[in-house]
Amino acid sequence: MAITIEINHAKTRAKAAAAAGLPVVPQAVRGPIRRIKWAILLLTLSIYYVTPFVRWDRGPNAPDQAVLLDFANGRLYAFFVEIWPQDLYLVTGLLVLASTVLILTNALAGRLWCGFACPQTVWTDLFLLVERVIEGGRRQRLKNFGAPLTPKRAVQSAAKHTAWLLISLATGGTLIFYFTDAPDLLRDLAAGNFSANALTWIAVFTGTTYGLAGFAREQVCTFMCPWPRLQGAIWDPEAYTVNYRDYRGEQRTSAKKAAELRLRGETAGDCVDCGQCVAVCPIGIDIREGPNFACINCGLCVDACDGVMAKLGRPRGLIDYESWANIERGRSNESPRNRLLRPKTVGLTAACLALAGTIGVGFAMRTTLTLSVQHDRDPVAVRLSDGSLRNAYTVKLLNKSASPHRYTLSVSGIDARLSIVGSDGIAPIEVAADASESLRVTLTAAGAEQKDVVFTVRDEAGNTLSATDRFVER
């Protein structure tokens, strides 16, 4: 089956609206999808605002904030997980996994993330709710454009911007709680005891929230976000994206005319051209013109059209989560096919599982001790007066646990004397909790051999960790 796609770039529409001085003013809508979106909005905002205040006991020498990005000490804490700079490969793995999940979601149901859980969508929704409550519905807000400023409107506008700024301040303020102990910082802020650094970041994040959610809104989703640009490469005709069943909706006509046509036994399209689907769209798209890369798949037009169909006594689903391939099948009277399970989605699911498994194993196999060995470069070897050969190394021990440990160092793979510079023989080395120790170590061998040497550290409990380096002649 040939797949065609009409792309009415939201860009053209947005430019036309901007030229006319009219922003997109979405209308409120009721329906099951809108309810799901409200629930997700509540959930995601609650998680965002509450998380910095959740405590997590990690013992006496560690912070008790459940989620903390401690840049000063180079740590990232997330509940029972503690990431050190040495573990950043795991964070990279998680980012790759998140991207793969996003691509899989795109193959199954398009831009679901954008429409339901993206912070830009969530905060814009919240700002629109505030605007609607204070300034009235879409019709009233559209009437306000270009109208003279009355005292009532000035008060409404001041109230709206004050509310937006308060939300932005709460959002910007909360973000910095993720970087330091939240209750302490909150107490400092309440006592007026804040640093210029904290104030600067609060101001930056407050301004960004206010600007992006209050003014830029759909422009972010259409022009600033890279995701719609990627749609050209990853758009999938079998994905359940929001589409208009044109084979059912056309020819559009008024409700009255459609009823007359049906009474006469003639066919009439279900679309009554009421414009509700366009009025509720937060991006300003007319989905009846075909798939649009700027569509965030939020489904609000589905709710709007289902409401119209219910009033007209027609079946729901004129606009629906439906694959574009099925729309094309519908046009030629073929039955719709569910192709959620196909090589691409199976492959992506397998890739996600493999990545998650690898990351899980990586986490599980992490030790609280890191050992690294670096051979001296200049000179690489020294011949002593008694004819023996000496190589020197820098051995670094990193104790990532919350308590101090004593480690003994040994070497195997060579018949050589090991000594730690500045230490009494090879006595156990004490490394404080959450700290590292750098040792100068020499190996002196009677013979002149080139071979691999294995350095091993052992803690009090008998756990060992090894690192291999080379003993060289020159």
Binding site for ligand SF4 (CB under 6 A): 242, 249, 271-277, 280-281, 283, 285, 287-288, 295-301, 304-305, 308, 318-319
Q: Which helix (H) or strand (E) holds 95?
A: helix 88-109
Q: Is 416 helix (H, G, I), strand (E, B) or coil?
A: strand
Rounded CA gap, 342 and 339, in Å?
6
Where do the DSSP E strands lie in 29-109? 67-70, 75-78, 81-83
Nearer to ligand SF4, 270 or 469 (CB): 270
Q: Name the burial class of residue 9, with classes exposed (0-12), middle (13-18) and buried (19+) by CB atoms within 10 angstroms of its CB.
A: middle
Scan for tokens 């090879």, then name that residue.
426
Q: Which of 48, 218, 226 is nearest to 128 (CA)?
A: 218
**Number of Cβ atoms within 10 Å of the Cβ of 141:** 18
**What's the DSSP call for residue 117?**
T
Q: Is 193 helix (H, G, I), strand (E, B) or coil?
A: coil
DSSP codes of every residue in 418-434: EEETTSSTTPPEEE-TT
Structure tokens at 465: 């960790």
Given a contact cutoff of 8 angstroms between Cβ atoms, the answer to whether 279 and 304 are in contact is yes
Residues in the chain: 474
Q: Which residues make Cβ contacts (< 8 Å) with residue 252, sequence separation at least 6? A: 269, 271, 272, 273
Residue 336 C-beta: closest distance to ligand SF4, Å? 19
Q: What are phi and psi of 180, to 5 degrees?
A: -155, 175
Rounded CA gap, 67 and 71, in Å?
13
CA-to-CA dists, residue 377 to 76, 391, 409, 444, 456, angstroms:
34, 10, 22, 16, 21
Residue 277 C-beta: closest distance to ligand SF4, Å? 3
Helix, strand, coil percentages (3-state) for the chain, rounded to 5, are 45, 15, 35
Alpha-carbon dihedral 210, 128, 39, 29, rounded to 10 degrees: -160
Nearer to ligand SF4, 18 or 354 (CB): 18
In the beta sheet, which residues pair with residue 371? Answer: 397
